[in-house]
């Protein structure tokens, strides 16, 4: 009865359009207040306070602020210029630039929709003007954006690390290779389907010459200018794994560095704009953190009612073959990612699924990447599809045409997901170097 009421109330509120944090908190409140033989309602308040009382969670608002500063400070245009210099001369060059620039920016922002907005606003108009289909340009931008939740710093990986009590440093390392693999997969898909999606615009001159002039930054001098942006991931990751500072302290360093580069070096961000930057990052951070504290009560009830144990027993009864169990979990998480926000999904399902995979001998760090990749694909699948909606707004294309154009990239995502799931060496190679 408790399980039915808890999940029934939550699902009903989700379909009514209530914010996920309200859904989690109200579902817990209904169970504690109205059902007999349940803990006292004070458990809701205590669990919420304990859920927010976590030092690693401080990294979330700091990384969000750093990403907002960098997005407003002109770093995305300079990253596009650097990416163009590296891969723009190949066939399908601007498609490769789009993917590579998204991977660079992902290593700065840690957010998938933010990556789509920042890179898309630079790349989609340029790609279209030079002969790329607008729907194709929007599709590759939306797909490349999900590397933002794999390549560190990744906010979902921080949430998983806190929920599963795992090393955030190891999780950051574990996400690097999968993020790169996804990027290479998108480039391969773009190369295979480029003939159907690119017609050179002869009136605009050659593709490379025009791109050199108009991708919002001059190619000349990019080393002096873009290097300030590209060095940020090196500072963050080098400091963490060099033992200079913790992941949470690295977030503070990222904020200070981003402010210095945006205000002093590039001067694209003005002091008068800092108020709106702080406001936007504060609103985003509040949304995430309220969800975290409300989900703590929800997760506490799941544990007290032994729901994770029951779900684990049910799945193991279906099969004790790790291949089959991981496939079932992947299917479930892909469906969940289509309907539920990534952070809420991680908080809710980690306590349920982690005991199952640990029973099968799957490393918790490896499973964190599997879960994050699964749910990240939800950014590119309706009806939730945050990346899709951001890309439609930037590119001004219909959702239907974008969904059709992104199908080849979705196929690549599923292939890469299987690689990440069943070849743990791909994920665990870099973390193993810390042991």
Q: Is residue 89 part of a domain?
A: yes
Q: Is residue 351 part of a domain?
A: yes
Does residue 267 register a pLDDT over 90? Answer: no
Which residue in the block uniquely carries the two structure tokens 């004070």? 42
pLDDT tens track for 378-406: 889 877 788 888 888 888 888 889 999 99
How far is CA 371 from its chain centroid?
11
Where residue 239 falls among pLDDT bands split at 50, 70, 90?
Answer: confident
Contacts of 35 (CB under 8 A, 6+ apart): 1, 2, 5
Neighbours of 189 (CB within 10 A): 23
Q: What is the pLDDT of residue 207?
A: 40
Which residue in the block uniquely carries the two structure tokens 């490393």? 363
Q: Is residue 100 part of a domain?
A: yes
Does residue 193 register a pLDDT over 80? Answer: yes
Contacts of 338 (CB under 8 A, 6+ apart): 378, 381, 382, 383, 384, 385
Q: What is the pLDDT of residue 360?
A: 87
Identify whether the C-beta of residue 235 lies closer than 8 Å to the C-beta of residue 42. no
Q: d(Cα 236, Cα 381) in Å, to the nearest integer?
A: 31
Q: Is residue 262 part of a domain?
A: yes
Going by the DSSP 8-state scheme, the letter that residue 54 receives in this structure is -
Q: Please, what sign has the CA dihedral across residues 225, 229, 233, 236?
A: positive
Q: Is residue 28 part of a domain?
A: no
pTM: 0.79
Where residue 225 falls among pLDDT bands split at 50, 70, 90?
Answer: low
Q: Is residue 119 part of a domain?
A: yes
Exposed/middle/buried for residue 23 (C-beta within 10 Å: 0-12, 13-18, 19+): buried
What's the structural domain count of the chain? 1
Does residue 164 register a pLDDT over 50? Answer: yes
Q: Is residue 47 part of a domain?
A: no
| Mean pLDDT, range 328-346, rounded to an integer | 85
To the nearest whole number, what is the mean pLDDT of the chain? 82
Q: Is residue 404 part of a domain?
A: yes
Q: Where is pLDDT greater, at 24 or 357?
A: 357
Q: The domain containing residue 101 runs over which residues?
A: 56-432
Does residue 292 register a pLDDT over 80? Answer: no
Does residue 372 register a pLDDT over 90? Answer: yes
- List the alpha helices (DSSP H) in 319-398: 322-339, 342-359, 364-377, 386-395
Q: d(Cα 120, Cα 102) in Å, to the nearest integer?
A: 9
| Mean pLDDT, range 312-324, rounded to an integer | 81
Does residue 195 register a pLDDT over 50? Answer: yes
| Mean pLDDT, range 219-243, rounded to an integer | 69
Q: What is the pLDDT of residue 222?
A: 42
Does residue 212 register a pLDDT over 60? Answer: no
DSSP string over 251-280? HHHHHHHHHHIIIIIS--S-GGGHHHHHHH
Identify whether the C-beta of residue 279 lies closer than 8 Å to the C-beta of residue 285. no
Percent of the chain with pLDDT over 90: 23
pLDDT tens track for 32-85: 777 776 666 777 777 777 767 777 778 878 888 887 887 787 776 777 777 777
């Amino acid at each position: 009865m408790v399980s039915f009421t808890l999940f029934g109330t939550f699902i009903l509120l989700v379909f009514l359009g209530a914010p996920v944090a309200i859904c989690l908190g109200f579902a817990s409140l209904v169970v504690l207040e109205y059902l007999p033989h349940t803990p006292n309602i004070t458990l809701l308040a205590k669990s919420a306070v304990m859920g927010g009382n976590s030092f690693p969670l401080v990294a979330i608002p700091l990384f969000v602020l750093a990403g907002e500063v960098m997005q407003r400070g002109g770093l995305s245009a300079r990253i596009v210029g650097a990416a163009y210099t590296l891969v723009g001369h190949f066939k399908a060059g601007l498609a490769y630039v789009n993917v590579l620039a998204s991977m660079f920016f992902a290593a700065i922002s840690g957010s998938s929709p933010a990556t789509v907005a920042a890179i898309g606003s630079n790349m989609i108009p340029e790609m279209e003007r030079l002969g790329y289909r607008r729907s194709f340009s929007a599709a590759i931008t939306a797909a490349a954006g999900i590397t933002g939740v794999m390549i560190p710093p990744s906010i979902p990986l921080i949430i998983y690390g806190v929920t599963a009590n795992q090393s955030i440093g190891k999780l950051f390392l574990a996400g690097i290779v999968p993020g790169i693999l996804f990027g290479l997969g998108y480039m391969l898909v773009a190369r295979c389907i480029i003939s159907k999606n690119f017609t050179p615009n002869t009136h605009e001159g050659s593709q490379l010459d025009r791109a050199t002039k108009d991708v919002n930054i001059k190619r000349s001098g990019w080393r002096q200018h873009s290097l300030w942006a590209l060095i940020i991931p090196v500072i963050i990751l080098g400091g963490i794994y060099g033992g200079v500072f913790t992941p949470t302290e690295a977030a503070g360093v990222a904020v200070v560095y981003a402010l210095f580069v945006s205000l002093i070096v590039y001067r694209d961000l003005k002091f008068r704009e800092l108020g709106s930057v702080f406001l936007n990052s504060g609103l985003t951070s509040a949304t995430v953190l309220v969800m975290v504290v409300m989900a703590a009560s929800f997760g506490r009830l799941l544990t007290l009612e032994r729901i994770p144990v029951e779900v684990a027993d049910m799945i193991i009864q279906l099969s004790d073959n790790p291949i089959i169990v991981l496939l079932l979990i992947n299917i479930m998480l892909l469906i969940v990612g289509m309907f539920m926000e990534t952070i809420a999904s991680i908080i809710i399902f980690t306590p349920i699924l982690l005991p199952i995979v640990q029973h099968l001998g799957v490393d918790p760090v490896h499973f964190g990447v599997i879960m994050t990749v699964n749910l990240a694909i939800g950014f590119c699948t309706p009806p939730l599809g945050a990346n899709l909606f951001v890309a439609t707004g930037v590119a001004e294309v219909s959702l239907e045409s974008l969904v059709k154009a992104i199908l080849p990239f979705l196929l690549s995502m599923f292939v890469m997901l299987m690689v990440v799931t069943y070849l743990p060496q791909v994920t665990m190679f870099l973390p193993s170097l810390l042991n």
